[in-house]
Structure 1
Amino acid sequence: MRQIVHTSIGGSAVRVHLSNLYGSGSVVIGNVYVALRDSGPSTVASSTRTVTFGGQQSVTLPAGASIASDPVPFDVPPLADLAVSVYLPGATSPQPTGHDGSLQDVYVASGNLGADPSFTGFTTNPAGQAYYFLTNVDVQNPQATGTVVAFGASITDGSASSSNANRRWPNDLAVRLSDAGMVVGVLNEGISGNNFFTDGAGQAGLNRFDRDALAQPGVKWIIVSDDAVNNLNTDTPSSAQDLIGAFQQLIARAHGVNVKVVCSTLTPFRGTQYWTAAIETSREAINTFVLSSSSGCDAVLDQARAVSDPADPASFLPAFNSGDNLHPNDAGMQAIANALDLNSLK
C-alpha cells in the first residue's frame, strides 16, 4: 500500500507510527519506505528511505499493538506530500485498523514494491479512500515550538471538503501558521461520526482523548472541536449540562499534564434531520459556556460565528454550507481556520 500524508511543518527526520489496535490477529509488516511524492502514486526516486523498527525492516504487530519506527533522516518540506509504502507479505484481519473517509487516495499493488518509484500495476482506492495501519508521521524539527492537536469529529476530519486537496480546516490552519513563520505542528485527530460518550465511530471522545490527543509527541495545545455536535444532532440528544461536563473533564485532564485547551463553539445545523428548537437551545447554552470567562478554556475558536448566517445564527451562511446543513465546504473550512487567533498558539 502506498499512502499519502500531507505535512504541516518541515524538518530533518521522520518517524512512522503503525497500529493494529483493532485487529483480531497479528499482522506482519514486511517493510516500510518513505519518500517524497511526485504525482499520483509516483515518488521522487532519490528521496526514498528505508524505515526500520528497532533496526529491523520487518515487524510483527500483535492484535492491539502499536509501534513507532526509528527516526529516519529525511529532508521534509513543509506543506508537502509524503508517500509511506507498507508491504504486507501475508493476510491481514478482515477489518484492519484504519481510517475510512480519508479524502486522500490510497494506492495498492501486488508484490513488494515499496521502493519502486512508479508503483507498477497499482489500483486506486480498492476499498475507498482510507488509511490502513498508518496512524502518524512525526516530523522532527528543533525549531518547532510544539504541536497543536485538532480533536473532533467529521468537521475536523474534513468531511465534505475537496478530496485530494488538503482543504480540511486543520490543513488550512497549518498554512496560516507557516505563512506567519510559526513552526507549530498540526495533527488532525478528527473521526467522522465520533462523539463524546459512545463508542462506534472510533472510541468515544472521552475514552480516546488521552491516547489521541494528550499522548501526541510535542503536544502543547488541543483544539476540542465538534464531537458534541454529534451528541446533539441525533434522535437521543445529550443534555447541555452533560456536554458542558465533558468539556470541563477534558480541560481538567489536559491542564493536569500542562497542555492548553482551545475550546470550539459548536457550528449550526438547522435543516438536518434531527434539529429541533430544544436542541438548538442546548447548542446555544454550550456555546455560551465556551465563550464565558469562567469556562476554563485557555482560548476559544469560535467556529459557530465563523460559519453561521448572521441573519439566522442557527443555520450555515449559504456560502459556507456544503449542502447538507451540517458540514462546511472548502470556503467554510477556511473560515474556521481563519477564526483562530494565532497568538493562542504562542
Structure 2
Amino acid sequence: MSHHPHDRFRSFWMAALLLAVTAMPAAAQTGAASWVGTWATAPVRDDAASSFTRQTLRQVICTSVGGSSARIHISNLFGTRPLRVEDVHIARLGDGSSILPDTDRAVLFRGSRFIVIAPGKEAVSDPVAFQVPALSDIAISFCLPRPSGRATFHGAAHQTSYLASGDVSSSKDLSDAKTTESTWFLTGLDVQGAGLHGAVVTLGASITEGYFSTPGANRRWPNVLAQKLVEAGFGIGVLNEGISGNRLLADGAGASARHRFRRDVLELPGVRWVIFADAPINDLGSTKPQPSAAQLIAGIGQLIALAHQSHIQFFCSTLTPYEGANYWTPAGEAARERVNDFLRSEASGCDAVIDQDAATHDPAHPTRFLPAYDHGDHLHPNDAGLQAIAGAVNLALFTQASGRDGMRSSPSAGRHRP
C-alpha cells in the first residue's frame, strides 16, 4: 500500500499548532453567541418496540466542551404516537444515579414544563443557565407520563443510565432504579460560551461508537480526542455519531452513512469538521453481494461533496485491518487496501487523511491488528487501540481557516496527511 509523503508539511503544521489557541478566536468571532454541540448520539429505531409509562429516565452523558448555558434535544423520530415529556432537569452527576442538588436546573420547552413531540419530529429545549464543565458527566432527567410508544434510542451507549417509577426527575437519589446501557429519546446537548469554535462529528460504525471500550470510562476514541482538544485549549466539541453495524452504502443497523449524513452531520449545531471512519468495513463484511472498492470510493465521494456544499471540512480515515474477523475474506481485504490507497492519494478529495490503519496494524502482519490493540475478535480495538486511533488525529488540522459565518471551515483551506 502506498503512503503519501508529508515531510514538506511538517514545519508549517507544527507552527500552526503552536499558534492555534491565539488564531482560533480570530477565525470564529461569532463563536461565543452560537450553539455548539458538546454531546450527541445517533438515533436508531428500537425494533424491540420498548415503551415507557409513568417513568423517569435519568440519562448520563459525558460532555466534550463546556459552556455557561445549555439546551437539549429530545427525539421522537421513530415514534408511533405523540411523545409527552414532562419535568425535564439537568444536573451534574453525583455517585451512581444521584445528582448534585445545588446544580439541578429545570429545563423548559417554549416556556412550558412539558412538551408533546409528534412522531418523526424532534424538540429542542429553551436555553437554561447552567455551568456545563468540559469532560464531565451530566445527568438529564425527564418523566414520560403516558405510554411513549415505540422508542427512538441508541442501543449501545456504553454508559449506565437509570429508570425509575413515577415522576422523580428532581430527586437527588433514585430509589430502586433499574439500569440501562442504552440512551432513550435524548439525542443531543448543546452549549453556549466564550472560547467555543465549533464541533467535529465522528461518523462511523462500532469502532467509532466505542464497542468493547470499558463501559462508563469514556475511553471511546472520540472521547480521547475530546480530551486532547480540551487540553490544547481548542474549544471544539466532539459529537460521536457512530452506530454499531452501520454501513456506508446499505441500510441495516440504522440508516446508512449515506442516508443519514444530512441528519447526523450537516444539521448538528456548530459543525465545522467531520471525520468519517469505519462504516465501509461493514459494507465489505456484511453486504451480499459485497460492494467493490470503486463503489465504496464513490460513496465516500458523495459524502465529501455534501460536506463541502455546507462548507464543512471532510477528514477521511483509512480502514483498520480486520483479518481474523468472522466476515473477513481475501476479496474484502483487497477492496480495503484499494480504498485505503485511494484515500491516501491526491485524487481522493479528502481535506485530510487520518491513518487509522497505520496507527493500529501489526507491522509484521499489516492485514491484522497489532496484538496489543486487538480486543480479541480481530475487528474491534481495545482501549489501547482506541487511544492509538485518537492519537492519529493531528490537532493542527483544526487550525484551518474558517468560512464566512465563523462556524464553518472552507474545504479549500488546504489538505494534509498526518
Q: What TM-score do the two structures reach when normalised by structure 1?
A: 0.97
Q: Indicate the residue corresponding to 1:75 in structure 2.
A: 131
Distance, in Å, in 1 between the alignment partners of 2:155 and 2:382 is 19
Residue number among 54, 57, 72 corresponding to 1:16 in the alignment: 72
Given that 1:148 and 1:184 are in contact with CA atoms closer than 8 Å, whether structure 2 keeps it comes out as yes
Q: Aligned-pair distance for 1:71?
A: 1.1
1:4 aligns with 2:4: no
Q: Aligned-pair distance for 1:235?
A: 5.6
Residue number among 270, 273, 296 corresponding to 1:243 in the alignment: 296
Distance, in Å, in 2 between the alignment partners of 1:77 and 1:98 is 25
Distance, in Å, in 1 between the alignment partners of 2:240 and 2:389 is 14
Residue number among 42, 56, 59 corresponding to 2:98 in the alignment: 42
Q: Indicate the residue corresponding to 2:377 in structure 1.
A: 324
Uncovered stretches (5+) of structure 2, i.e. residues with no partner: 1-56, 400-418
1:144 aligns with 2:196: yes
Given that 2:60 and 2:159 are in contact with CA atoms closer than 8 Å, whether structure 1 keeps it comes out as yes
Given that 2:318 and 2:357 are in contact with CA atoms closer than 8 Å, whether structure 1 keeps it comes out as yes
Q: Indicate the residue corresponding to 2:283 in structure 1.
A: 231
Residue number among 184, 187, 205 corresponding to 1:153 in the alignment: 205
Q: Aligned-pair distance for 1:200?
A: 2.2
1:123 aligns with 2:178: yes
Q: How many residues matched?
A: 342
Distance, in Å, in 2 between the alignment partners of 1:306 and 1:291 is 14
Q: Indicate the residue corresponding to 1:100 in structure 2.
A: 155
Distance, in Å, in 2 between the alignment partners of 1:182 and 1:257 is 22
Q: Aligned-pair distance for 1:191?
A: 0.6
Task: Provide Cα deviations, 1:105-147, integer angstroms capped at 9, x if missing partner.
Answer: 110111111110112331212xxx1000000011222311110
Distance, in Å, in 2 between the alignment partners of 1:86 and 1:37 is 15
Distance, in Å, in 2 between the alignment partners of 1:240 and 1:131 is 34
Name the SS for the 1:41 alignment partner. Answer: coil
Q: Indicate the residue corresponding to 1:342 in structure 2.
A: 395
Q: Indicate the residue corresponding to 1:284 in structure 2.
A: 337
Distance, in Å, in 1 between the alignment partners of 2:240 and 2:327 is 27
Task: Provide Cα deviations, 1:74-106, integer angstroms capped at 9, x if missing partner.
Answer: 11111000000010001111x300000111111
**Aligned-pair Cα RMSD in Å:** 0.9
Distance, in Å, in 1 between the alignment partners of 2:99 and 2:109 is 22
Q: Indicate the residue corresponding to 1:311 in structure 2.
A: 364
Name the SS for the 2:286 alignment partner. Answer: coil
Structure 1 segments, 4+ long, off by >6 Å, are: none
Distance, in Å, in 1 between the alignment partners of 2:364 and 2:143 is 54
Q: Indicate the residue corresponding to 1:266 in structure 2.
A: 319
Residue number among 106, 109, 126 corresponding to 1:53 in the alignment: 109
Name the SS for the 1:178 alignment partner. Answer: helix
Given that 2:107 and 2:128 are in contact with CA atoms closer than 8 Å, whether structure 1 keeps it comes out as yes
Distance, in Å, in 2 between the alignment partners of 1:186 and 1:39 is 25
With 170-179 and 113-122 compared, the bigger mean Cα shift is at: 113-122
Distance, in Å, in 1 between the alignment partners of 2:111 and 2:176 is 30
Name the SS for the 1:42 alignment partner. Answer: coil
Given that 2:81 and 2:118 are in contact with CA atoms closer than 8 Å, whether structure 1 keeps it comes out as yes
Given that 2:249 and 2:296 are in contact with CA atoms closer than 8 Å, whether structure 1 keeps it comes out as no
Percent identity between matched residues is 46
Given that 2:317 and 2:354 are in contact with CA atoms closer than 8 Å, whether structure 1 keeps it comes out as yes
Distance, in Å, in 1 between the alignment partners of 2:133 and 2:161 is 21
Given that 1:113 and 1:120 are in contact with CA atoms closer than 8 Å, whether structure 2 keeps it comes out as no
Q: What TM-score do the two structures reach when normalised by structure 2?
A: 0.81
| Equivalent position amino acid for 1:108 in 2 | L
Distance, in Å, in 2 between the alignment partners of 1:67 and 1:136 is 10
Q: Indicate the residue corresponding to 1:199 in structure 2.
A: 251
Given that 1:4 and 1:105 are in contact with CA atoms closer than 8 Å, whether structure 2 keeps it comes out as yes
| Equivalent position amino acid for 1:5 in 2 | I
Distance, in Å, in 1 between the alignment partners of 2:202 and 2:178 is 31
| Equivalent position amino acid for 2:155 in 1 | D
| Equivalent position amino acid for 2:158 in 1 | L
Distance, in Å, in 2 between the alignment partners of 1:142 and 1:254 is 26
Given that 2:319 and 2:336 are in contact with CA atoms closer than 8 Å, whether structure 1 keeps it comes out as yes
Q: Indicate the residue corresponding to 2:85 in structure 1.
A: 29
| Equivalent position amino acid for 2:353 in 1 | V
Name the SS for the 1:233 alignment partner. Answer: helix
